[in-house]
Structure 1
Amino acid sequence: MRLGVLDVGSNTVHLLVVDAHRGAAPLPAYSHKIELRLAEHLDPRGLIEPAGADGLVEFVAEAAELAEDKGCESVYAFATSAIREAPNGEEVLERVRAETGVRLVVLTGTDEARLTFLAVRRWFGWSSGRLAVFDIGGGSLEIAAGSDESPTVAVSVPLGAGRLTRESFSTSQPDKDEIKALRKRIRIEMAAVAGDVLRAGRPQRSVATSKTFRSLARVCGAAPSADGPYVPRTLARADLIEWLPKLIEMTAEERADLPGVSPGRSHQLIAGALVADAVMDLFDIPELEVCPWALREGVILARLDQL
């Protein structure tokens, strides 16, 4: 069957169409996305501004038509932290439903962590043993660990690369004091949940997903996406530590010229790198394996299981 997944994230709104049936890997058939940066369309009270809501409605309507054109039997549409945390999120959801006919389901942070873990488990298989999975999004960091398809522990921490950049840096080239303050904030918030994750047992495989981790891995020498999803990719902490001072010294334009870094996300790369460094340091992980499957694939797999 052909299914569609519409992912409304803090940075990107993405329609993914896949050919899938239970027991088989979903095969991407079509992809369409824009960098709406919904989390940047917030007023001082945290409300989603009209421009952000307008852009979301426009894209969702376009995505619904595209999904129909591509022959999707159904489309599962969901939203994450940008909608979840906005005081007027319900109003925006109702406007989307009224004007497009699409009902967006708001995932909790725990849902995100659990579904991403499912995708990683299916990708690497049972031989991976106990997994620890880390996903840096625009608004939050999801962490999950366990030995089964459902994680033993699944947590969400407000340490997304976009959120930290907006809240901590005054320019695209932060000064030393801003870097120091953000580094301290990241480690304090992450340490508050590290104990729960570590008590689940030491992982036999530590895995990273998300665009931020993929970009950092590419900058540090991992194979390009053009080589396909089956090429092993890793992010070593030693390489990240070597690159971090260089990233801090670069302008956003210079970071955008690095392999694997898009212009729309280059301003978030420093915050993302600080989170990635803290993950590997606090959880004593010298190297993370990069998984091409993440939340969207987890949503598809869970949907197939229900069907």
Structure 2
Amino acid sequence: MEDREPGAEAPDAGAYRGLRSPDSGAGNPPANRENRAPGPRSGNGQARADAPQQPGKGKKRRKRKRGRKVFARDGVKPDAEGKASPAAPSAPVVAQNSAVAAAPTADRRPNAPDRQYNAELPVFAALDLGTNNCRLLVAVPGRPGQFRVVDAFSRIVRLGEGLTASGRLSDAAMDRAVEALKICADKLRSRKVRRARLIATEACRSAANGVEFLERVEAEAGLKLEIIDRQTEARLAVSGCGSLVERDTDGVVLFDIGGGSSEIALIDLSKQRSPRLANHIVSWTSLPVGVVSLAERFGGRHVTPEIFDAMVADVTGMLSAFEGRDRINHLMEGSRFHLLGTSGTVTTLAGVHLGLERYDRRRVDGLWMDNASVDRMIEKLLGWDFQARVANACIGADRADLVLAGCAILEAIRRVWPSERLRVADRGLREGILSELMAEDGVWRRNWRNGPRQ
């Protein structure tokens, strides 16, 4: 999955509170939240102050119970396309003398950990090194089925830059990734992590020197990463954002547009629904194309309508070879079918659609966009030149040459599976990893003496 915010070193950790586990059932986060600073919330998720002081001597301020929205999470397992079981989580190998590189000036946002969590709770970590970005989440279990992020890191490293042409990771790209991973190693080293899973995806899968690069990462950053296959990547994407599939839904095409690959899962919920969304996956595929690889082949800075159409046709040709693409066609005519996208492409479209002056995850995650709105946003971005895309706060210089390639992949998906609605998810692999790790560890089945703050 692509990185969400250009140059952001750490997303707002508080925005992840309330995410639920694979066994928790379905839930509905607000589609459009106000841009606000973290603080007490009312039961409907809006920021509020405590009740004002009543007139009269000796009167005390009345406290209100604080409610939180609950996001359900659904785990996944392989569908009819394959029976592989989840790979065993890899514990981080952190060298004692691993150096930590300073964050470059492009990283504009400070870390936003939740420093009030119970220190006795077990800590879990998920790291995702993709073709375009390097991201880390560190979390502790919350109420049954939930977790709370206590630290996070995100940086665009463009590990797959030039990979399409050369078949190898370049020295400059590897250097950028190693420096980011050193920071991740420092964050992991600073906490007593109970379990972690550190994954690498398409760039390391396809590069001739991918394994050699990971050996360098282990030697210099002290982190041992596993290269996951495409089926596992698709499963984790569903695990990370399946909570946005509502209970009255009959069919969903869930897709993750990445830097070097794009994962797609077809989900049939028209019969009796089980707690785990993966039980209803009827087909899945992973396209060997993402925003980086497509932009490098067709050009990303100056994209004419003709170039855009050529990109769409290229991806549509790949989808035509997907044998299982018709398995939910019988559900597509009704209003209980929709697309669900998790990637920088769809979150960028959502941010531009909302006219955000600064990207706000709380307003984007869970947002519904109708078909006409998606058409307008793609047409709008296609009408902007490169500098106009750079100037937009939800795109920026790091994504200006990639966003139209992402739109082309999205357009190809929309043509194969037409839908009246698209739901946007700002969540994915890391959240899926954390949910699976905590569920496997049984943290929500135990009665912790000093449980999470309610």
Which residue of the partner structure matches residue 386 of structure 2?
252
- Give the counterpart of 1:31 among 148, 152, 155: 152
Of the candidates 198, 201, 225, which is equivalent to residue 326 of structure 2? 198
Partner of residue 139, structure 1: 260
Distance 1:18 1:70, change over 3 A: same
Shift of 1:20: 2.2
The residue type equivalent to 1:198 in the other structure is: D
Partner of 1:77: 198
Distance 1:281 1:76 in 2: 36
Query: What CA deviation, in whole Å up to 9, does each residue of 1:268-287 have, x standing for no partner?
Result: 11111122122122201122
Task: Give the Cα–Cα distance (whole angstroms) in 1 for the partners of residues 165 and 324 of structure 2.
Answer: 34
1:208 is aligned to 341
| Cα deviation digits, residues 118-146 of structure 1 (max 9, x gap) | 22224546554543201111111110122
Shift of 1:231: 6.5
Q: Which of 218, 226, 235 is 1:97 aligned to?
A: 218
Counterpart of 1:279 in structure 2 is 413
**TM-score scaled by structure 1?**
0.89
TM superposition shift of 1:210: 1.4
Aligned to 1:161: 291
Alpha-carbon distance change, 247 to 118 in structure 1, aligned in 2, over 3 angstroms: same
Alignment gaps of 5+ in structure 2: 1-121, 270-275, 442-454
Deviations 1:34-87 (A, max 9, x none): 211111154842111222222222222221111222443333210111111101
Secondary structure of the residue that 1:38 maps to in structure 2?
coil
State how many pairs are aligned: 305
Q: What does 1:8-27 align with in structure 2 at a 5 Å threshold? A: 8-20=129-141, 23-27=144-148
- What's the CA shift for 1:6? 1.3
| TM-score w.r.t. length of structure 2 | 0.62
Larger deviation, residues 271-280 vs 202-211: 202-211
In structure 2, distance between residues paired with 1:34 and 1:233: 24
User: Does structure 1 residue 119 correspond to structure 2 residue 240?
Assistant: yes
Match of 1:262 in 2: 396
Cα separation, partners in 2 of 1:34 and 1:272, compared to 1, 3 Å: same
1:7 alignment partner, one of 128, 132, 157: 128
Partners of 1:297 and 1:11 in 2: how far apart? 18
AA at the equivalent of 1:192: A
Runs of at least 5 residues in structure 1 that lack an aligned partner in the other structure: none
Matches of 1:41 and 1:20 in 2, distance apart? 40
CA deviations on 1:119-178 (whole Å, 9 max, x unpaired) are: 222454655454320111111111012244322322111231121101111x61123442
The Cα of 1:13 is off from its aligned counterpart by 0.6
Q: Counterparts of 2:412 and 2:241 in 1: how far apart (Å)?
A: 21
Question: Residue type of the partner of 2:392?
Answer: L
Task: Judging by fraction of residues, say which structure has more helix.
Answer: 1
Q: Contact 2:233 / 2:263 at 8 angstroms: preserved in 1?
A: yes
Q: Contact 1:10 / 1:138 at 8 angstroms: preserved in 2?
A: yes
Q: What is the percent sequence identity of the aligned residues?
A: 25
Q: Is the 8 A contact 1:67 1:75 kept in 2?
A: no
CA distance in 2, matches of 1:184, 1:226: 32
Task: Name the structure, 1 or 2, with higher relative contact order (CA <8 Å, separation 6+).
Answer: 2
Post-superposition Cα deviations, 1:237-270, rounded to whole Å, max 9, x if no partner, equal: 3223223343223222211333422320111111
Q: Any idea what SS the aligned residue of 2:402 has? A: helix
In 2, Cα distance between the equivalents of 1:222 and 1:233? 13
Aligned-partner SS, 1:31: strand
> Residue 8 of structure 1: CA displacement?
0.4
**Do residues 234 (structure 1) and 364 (structure 2) align?**
no
* Corresponding residue of 2:61: none
Greater gyration radius: 2
Structure 1 counterpart of 2:350: 217
Report SS of the residue matched to 1:228: helix
- One-letter amino acid of the structure 2 residue matched with residue 184 of structure 1: A
